Structure 1
Amino acid sequence: MAKKILILTLTLALMAAAGAAHAAASPEPSDKTIKREIRIGRKSAEEIEKHVPRVLNPSVEAKLSMIASRLVPYMQRDLDYEVRILEMKQPNAFSLPGGMTYITTGMLDFLKSEDEIAAVLCHEFVHADRAHGIVQARRNSRLNLLTLAGLIAATQAGEGGAGIAAMAGGIQTAMMNSYSIDLEKEADAMGIDVLYRAGYNPAAMLTMMERMNVERLKRAQYELGIFQTHPEADERVEAALKYLREKGIDIQRKDVVKMLKVTVADEKGRTRLLIDGRELFSAPSGDGARKLFEGVAKRLDENLELELAPYDIRVGGEPGSQSLIIGRSIILREDELLPGMPGLSEIRDGVMEAVNRARRGNILTDYYE
């Protein structure tokens, strides 16, 4: 299987380069090449699905189609933006010339929300929309068709370890840095714009890349699919963060990554307030406790963000009339504390710990910059 996938990868490289030979005269994507790009993409898809199982899951495919339908109106060219699923544990996604886009089961497991799925699809749609595969193939003088064709022929002829090693070298040269960093940044930035216009949280482009970068560092010796084929992760995260700020877009990650969820529950005679399933405080159950806790939960939900700095969560006021404050909002007053509840300073520490715990998966970001 590994040998077949290596051959397939080089075959797709040849196809992309063949398309580039026809489109190299124009630096901008052209509607004139759409039919040719779609033919190349469909042929590539046939080859891919001969070697990597396609997942036919109507409910998941319908969801992906729905997400795509919100993004496609903001693309510049009328391509074939069909999304298909591949059975592969590595988190990966890629688009083919003409718009056909694949996402692996590993990537779907990795993403935490519809917004993040939209971010991945949007990024890949932009690659196809801007004909980045053709642009990169045109740039890449190392992608020598005769050399790659020779490698494929040698391996198919059964030259064993030497042929496979030579082909692996060819892949390293021709495919692993498939898109230059400027093309990746363009796909990120244009993707952020499309997410915003389509009604998705544009911070999803950032959260997805932040976690990818964490995983890349944690598993440096592991084959990570998209982590290998999308290089310069640190630089891309910084560029996306800067772009969001320059556009004046509020960066709010918590809903995208499904963290800092505040709930109230009654259990064994006590009313409990929980953040991400962990108790912040509790008190004996009763109408007064339930009403107070629901009010505090609402205010926490409105004010808690992954981007909060330690000084944003504080206890202020004179002794005897102090309040727990987040930003400029009063969350809980000292005179509202019920018997059995901890003091405001302890509650403040618990809130800060919940924030820190929620963002540990994105440890590379400077939240307070």
Structure 2
Amino acid sequence: MAKKFFSLIIALALLAAAGAAYAAASPEPSDKTIKREIKLGRKSAAEIEKHVPRVLNPSVEAKLSMIAARLIPHMQRELEYEVRILEMEQPNAFSLPGGMTYITTGMLDFLKSEDEIAAVLCHEFVHADRAHGIVQARRNNRLNLLTLAGLIAATQAGEGGAGIAAMAGGIQTAMMNTYSIDLEKEADAMGIDILYRAGYNPAAMLTMMERMNVERLKRAQYELGIFQTHPEADERVDAALKYLREKGIDIQRKDVVKKLRVKVDEEGGRVVLRIDETEFLSAPAGGEARALLDKTAKRLDETLELELLPYDIRVSELGGERSLVIGRETILREDELLPGMPELPALRDRVMEAVNLARRGGILTDYYE
């Protein structure tokens, strides 16, 4: 019975989190319902935490609170936004009416950067801000806010099996048609705008969904949490990509997913330049070698992107001198190479290898579109 009740509570939470879309997909929420939403959210939170372990980690909670503090000023309604952590392997996040938002330990492990954490929280905050759970319930015309409150109250009043059965029936009926893709895309699009205004990389909304989509297809039996209730993964990715372009926002995934990191180290008497784990250049340690590799590393760091086209990385004749070029920037001239270093075409192949390896986490992503 406890396991069944746990599933029902999570279903209720996900129902409250339902939705996301382009601006105007949902009617304007009324401030008149805020108190009722907050009350319902508090009751739902209390039930969830009876059955799912909450993680109390001050350092992680402080980080989440810091991220939330940058996002909250850009929300349209003054709700009780708070982020709590649940102990759960599945990557998941959901918001309750009134603003309470949960993120699982599995999701925190899955996300690659602060920008991606902000993207997930922002998406869920928008769900609460725009009252998407209530909008979805009204669309289904089977469950409303008062019914939800009554079902929760019935279980809290100790009605036991009857209360649980009533909740099961109400939730299952409300969720029959799943969640509307227009509401999902509204939370993605509004989240992108808020990320931009809050100083985060808005491409994080895209990278998080791209990797979730990969995991969904790689692991047919894997419980994907947030994407199990948001099955239109391809459509959401395409919509987010289109929205970013319509807004004129440069899509730069590299820093968000912590890929194409360039570093120079000294190892066993040699100085080595690597792009992630791919060795690009090395030479016996010494002032001239270190200066060349540091300069080359800086040029690579400024030009490498996951979105580079194959012809962006090339060996060209510039001013009578052959050079390795990325985009419009010269990375390394032939006359700069030290004795024993590979020729430029081989270095070009190493750059391509590093870029291709970095893209593996988003194998379904069309970087050239």
Q: TM-score, normalised by structure 2?
A: 0.88
- The aligned amino acid for 1:182 is D
> What is the aligned partner in structure 1 of residue 32 from structure 2?
32
Residues 115-264 of structure 1: matches in 2 within 5 Å?
Answer: 115-141=115-141, 143=143, 156=161, 174-175=174-175, 178-264=178-264
Q: Which moved more, 1:263-272 or 1:193-202?
A: 263-272
Mapped to 1, the partners of 2:337 and 2:112 lie a distance apart of: 35
> What is the aligned partner in structure 1 of residue 323 from structure 2?
323
> What is the aligned partner in structure 1 of residue 66 from structure 2?
66
> What is the aligned partner in structure 2 of residue 2 from structure 1?
3
Q: How many residues align?
A: 352
1:346 is aligned to 2:342: no
1:229 is paired with a residue of what secondary structure?
coil
2:368 is paired with a residue of what secondary structure?
coil
Specify whether residues 246 and 13 from structure 1 end up closer, same or farther in structure 2 by C-alpha distance, changes over 3 A only.
Answer: closer
Larger RCO, structures 1/2 (Cα 8 Å, 6+ apart):
2
Assess if the C-alpha contact under 8 Å between 2:116 and 2:205 holds in 1.
yes
Instruction: Indicate the percent of aligned positions where both proteins have the same amino acid.
Output: 78
CA deviation digits over 1:32-55, x for unaligned, max 9? Answer: 111110000000000000000000
Deviation at 1:3, TM superposition (A): 1.6
Residues 5-24 of structure 1: matches in 2 within 5 Å?
Answer: 5-9=6-10
Instruction: Give structure 2 stretches of 5+ with no counterpart.
Output: 19-25
Assess if the C-alpha contact under 8 Å between 1:126 and 1:191 holds in 2.
yes
Specify whether residues 318 and 134 from structure 1 end up closer, same or farther in structure 2 by C-alpha distance, changes over 3 A only.
Answer: closer
- The aligned amino acid for 2:321 is S
Specify whether residues 262 and 141 from structure 1 end up closer, same or farther in structure 2 by C-alpha distance, changes over 3 A only.
Answer: same
CA deviation digits over 1:111-144, x for unaligned, max 9? Answer: 0000000000000000000000000010114559
2:242 is paired with a residue of what secondary structure?
helix
> What is the aligned partner in structure 1 of residue 312 from structure 2?
312
1:260 is paired with a residue of what secondary structure?
coil
Instruction: Give structure 1 stretches of 5+ with no counterpart.
Output: 18-25
> What is the aligned partner in structure 1 of residue 294 from structure 2?
294
CA deviation digits over 1:152-204, x for unaligned, max 9? Answer: 99993699xxx8xx96x986664376531000000000000000000000000
> What is the aligned partner in structure 2 of residue 46 from structure 1?
46
Assess if the C-alpha contact under 8 Å between 1:13 and 1:175 holds in 2.
no
Deviation at 1:368, TM superposition (A): 1.1
Specify whether residues 7 and 366 from structure 1 end up closer, same or farther in structure 2 by C-alpha distance, changes over 3 A only.
Answer: closer
Q: Which moved more, 1:262-271 or 1:1-10?
A: 1-10
Residues 61-140 of structure 1: matches in 2 within 5 Å?
Answer: 61-140=61-140
Specify whether residues 304 and 91 from structure 1 end up closer, same or farther in structure 2 by C-alpha distance, changes over 3 A only.
Answer: same
Mapped to 2, the partners of 1:209 and 1:61 lie a distance apart of: 23
1:271 is paired with a residue of what secondary structure?
strand
> What is the aligned partner in structure 2 of residue 22 from structure 1?
none
2:190 is paired with a residue of what secondary structure?
helix
- The aligned amino acid for 2:361 is G
Q: TM-score, normalised by structure 1?
A: 0.88
Deviation at 1:258, TM superposition (A): 0.3
- The aligned amino acid for 1:262 is V
Q: Which moved more, 1:214-223 or 1:230-239?
A: 214-223
Mapped to 2, the partners of 1:49 and 1:43 lie a distance apart of: 10
> What is the aligned partner in structure 2 of residue 333 from structure 1?
333
Q: Which moved more, 1:319-328 or 1:200-209?
A: 319-328
Mapped to 2, the partners of 1:53 and 1:311 lie a distance apart of: 51
